[in-house]
Structure 1
Amino acid sequence: MKFKHISVLFGESIDALNIKPNGIYADGTLGGGGHSHGILSTNDSCRLIGIDQDKEAIAAAKERLKEFDGRVTFVNRNFSEIKDILSELDIDEIDGAVLDLGVSSYQLDNAERGFSYMHDAALDMRMNTSSPKSAYDVVNSYSCEELMRIFYDYGEEKWSKRIAEFICEKRKTKPVETTFELVEIIKAAIPKKARMEGGHPAKRVFQAIRIEVNNELGILENAIKDFVSSIKSGGRLAIITFHSLEDRIVKKTFQDLARGCTCPKEFPVCVCGKKPEIKIISRKPILPSEEELEYNSRSKSAKLRIAEKL
């Protein structure tokens, strides 16, 4: 299957980086190489570090970016390892970075990856196919309480308790092995009237399981801080999110880094000594244009936030 992915908020994120000649930039979520292609096309002297934990994404990006041979370094790692990656490449600081936190169209549409509730496949959902934990492990080995927690916390699913109970009851006889088996359990657990509201009934549970399998939220805050500390003064970090949980973390982390002092308000003077590390460029998130929403429905929930290193 061809690796296909339409980069969301493409022009807005490329413009946000203020790309300089001879600058070094990182695309922490390389995917099919869309944002990377935009960065490298801006001038003929900037360099790019393309990072992705998905080997198939790396292979696809290498093909797409072959015209920029010599200016790209491909790294098959998780973006949360940015400090180690730069250290191993003997790079002290970069001039900017972009993170697109969405699942690629390829991953969703490739039934074998088990991300989608629209295709029948083995329960997988691993962005890094070498990772030991898959969706099968979460669904079949987590306790009812753990399942309920991740469905509620990561999927904001109001039927979390009932869905978890139905899963635990079903797996007593045999493991839940496929995406469609899981979909049917979810449908059975949600009352018919509720199933008619708010899109596909399995959407929130599948999101929650994917987040748990890939520890997407657990790594995000520290990763943002590590990217900021790795960027030169005046350089920018652009982050695209696709659901409220991610956006909340990005917004709060940016606010914390922009505030500096963490002393209680009643203190007459600062004793912590912390200084602001960034300036927030986008006080409100940048949203897709009407034109983008028309040709790429998956951009509907996307939000772009931008920060500049002080």
Structure 2
Amino acid sequence: MAQSIPPTTAAAHPDPSAIHIPVMSEQVVELLSPALDHEGAVYVDGTVGLAGHASLILQANPRARLIGIDQDGDALALAARRLDRFGGRAHLVRARFDELPRVLDDLGVHSLDAMLLDLGLSSLQIDRPERGFAYRTDAPLDMRMDDRNELTAARVLNDYEPGRLVGVLREYGEERQAARIVRAIVAEREKAPFENSARLVRVIESAIPAAVRARSSGHPARRTFQALRIEVNGELKVLQAVLPHVLARMTVGARLAVLAYHSLEDRIVKQVFAKASQDSAPAGLPVVPDELAARFALVTHGAQRPSAEELAANPRSASARLRVLRRIRAESTGGRR
């Protein structure tokens, strides 16, 4: 359920700028600002988080206003403090970003000029052990971005039947050792339910053969934790659901930027952008009719990556991939433009 958050509810929270560095912020501001250089321009941040990108966008585009969406109540409270200086130009709503049509309709907004989806975890989620996202710290197996949801990582581990759990690890974690890991999880949960992350990490490490661990880069639990997080929050399903809604709401000249952090979500974005920017006319047609011409064009050809300087300052940006799309034509209306 969408819930509006006034910008003054977070006075007791620490300064969010001290705990969060927005990823590829210079590129995001540069690539979205051309669509926001007019009075009343609407910028939607579908994952406003701690408002790092949002505050920079509003600062660079003084005639634009923000609709910031996030399902994480703690993040929204901190974002409200960071955006308080912008007054009525910033409106925050607690919702999942696939609720975009309802959020905009509730606010009487029919179209948007620019939108950002930053699909990564925020520093707030990673660095607070009680949220359960980090495999290097013993914590409750929660992983919910929205604490109003009932499904937790512990419930997935304890309640899913083995075949379903193997599917989650394979599809969302691309974990080749999924069957081995699930066999070990099932054997352990019969002794006692999973509650904390340290026990799960030990089980994963013991299930993966030493030779495989030696050849692999990264922590052996990384893929399993990614898969559980995606399952708990429905991340890929939500991304697939929201993109058509965003495209439908974009005015001519509007831009959509997406920051992805692993191949699964980046693949979805790449495919949607590629399809949207292609004509639907048969190959070889000498003139493409307007109703078959592409409505969108790629701003970034391929994914942009963080600079060496950013990687040195913020190692967490290493996996980021930025893609931007813009609308170049309105929908065809029987020959009228």
Shorter-chain TM-score above 0.5 = yes
Residue of structure 1 equivalent to 2:116: 98
Given candidates 148, 151, 160, the residue that maps to 2:178 is 160
- 1:256 is aligned to 275
- Please give the residue correspondences for 1:46-57 in structure 2 after superposition, counting only pairs within 5 Å: 46-57=64-75
Q: State the 1:277 CA deviation.
A: 2.6
Select the residue among 25, 46, 50 that pairs with 1:10: 25
CA distance in 1, matches of 2:286, 2:61: 49
Which residue of the partner structure matches residue 8 of structure 2? none
Contact 1:24–1:94 at 8 Å: present in 2 too? yes
Q: 1:20 is matched with which residue: 37, 47, 53?
A: 37
- Alignment check: 8 A CA contact 1:21 1:44 kept: no
Aligned-residue CA RMSD in angstroms? 2.0
- 2:258 counterpart SS class: strand
Once the two structures are TM-superposed, the CA of residue 269 in structure 1 deviates from its matched residue by 11
Which consecutive aligned stretches of 4+ in structure 1 deviate over 4 angstroms post-superposition? 265-271
* Deviation readout 1:248-277 (Å, 9 max, x if unpaired): 0000011111224287x7999999x65523
Q: What does 1:128-277 align with in structure 2 at a 5 Å threshold?
A: 128-196=146-214, 197-261=216-280, 275-277=293-295
Please, what TM-score do these two structures have when normalized by structure 1? Answer: 0.95
The 2-side partners of 1:282 and 1:267 are apart by 26
Aligned AA for 1:31? G
Structure 1 stretches lacking a partner, 5+ long: none
Contact residue 5 and residue 31 of structure 1 kept, 8 A? no
Contact 1:32 1:61 in 2 (8 A): yes
Match of 2:107 in 1: 89
Provide the rounded CA distance (Å) in 1 between the counterparts of 2:161 and 2:287: 49
Return closer, same or farther for 1:194/1:76 CA change in 2, 3 Å cut-off.
same
Correspondent of 1:63 among 81, 90, 106: 81
SS of equivalent residue, structure 1 residue 47: strand
Deviation at 1:21, TM superposition (A): 3.2
Report the 3-state secondary structure (helix = DSSP H, G, I; strand = E; otherwise coil) of the residue aligned with 2:277: helix
Contact 1:97 1:236 in 2 (8 A): yes
In structure 1, what is the equivalent of residue 6 of structure 2?
none
1:66 and 1:86 mapped to 2: Cα distance? Answer: 21
- The one-character-per-residue Cα deviations of 1:199-238 (angstroms, maximum 9, x if unpaired) are 1110010000000000000121221111111111101000
How much has 1:44 moved relative to structure 2? 2.3
| Residues 138 and 209 in structure 1, CA contact (< 8 A), matched pair in contact too | yes
Tell me, what secondary structure is at the counterpart of 1:14? helix
